[in-house]
Structure 1
Amino acid sequence: MTRKRVVVTGDVQGVFFRDTCRRTALQYRVTGWVRNLPDGSVEAVFEGEPHHVAILVEWAREGPPAATVRGVEVVNEEPEGLRDFEVRPTPY
């Protein structure tokens, strides 16, 4: 089990990034969450088998077709044992 936190910058809000991320995570049985950040970026946490988490991190480097990803910061974290994948509200 591995966990990665990613922050994706670029034109990544308003392009179905979060929903597509959720659907892709479910496809690969990756748990975690995704949310928009107030600065226009998107933050996500991916937990699961290392190969599947790597697929999600690579997906985040492209995003959905309407997105323009300019950067992806990836941080390793300790897994928490999350059970599902959710879209979280934007923090304020």
Structure 2
Amino acid sequence: MAKQCLKIRVEGRVQGVFFRKQTQQRAVQLGLTGYAKNLQDGAVEVIACGEDAALEQLASFVRQGPPGSQVFSSDTLIFDYQSYSGFEIL
């Protein structure tokens, strides 16, 4: 199966609601690497790398948001696979 990376920018009520932590937990369960970080404008950026099927599952989770969050919009960019060690919260 092909490996690639996704960059997802999520806007809405996504900071202060454990969005990054729950995204990290889901990514680790799916065997993905990368990171989730808060941006200064209130959005969250997620970089995830791995198998296509796992990336689709994480992207679906992020676009919906975990309980307590409210996603207003998301933008996704696909790019070539890069190696990260684990999935970090930055």
TM exceeding 0.5: yes
5+ residue gaps, structure 2, are none
Mapped to 2, the partners of 1:35 and 1:83 lie a distance apart of: 16
Percent identity among equivalent residues?
33
Mapped to 1, the partners of 2:85 and 2:44 lie a distance apart of: 21
Runs of 4+ in 1 over 4 A off after TM superposition: none
Instruction: Determine if the alignment matches structure 1 residue 12 to structure 2 residue 14.
Output: yes
Moved more, 23-32 or 74-83: 74-83
Name the Cα RMSD after superposition: 0.7
Q: Which amino acid aligns with 1:73?
A: D
TM-score, normalised relative to structure 1: 0.93
For residue 83 of structure 1, report the CA deviation from its aligned partner. Answer: 2.5
5+ residue gaps, structure 1, are none
| Total equivalences in the alignment | 88
TM-score, normalised relative to structure 2: 0.95
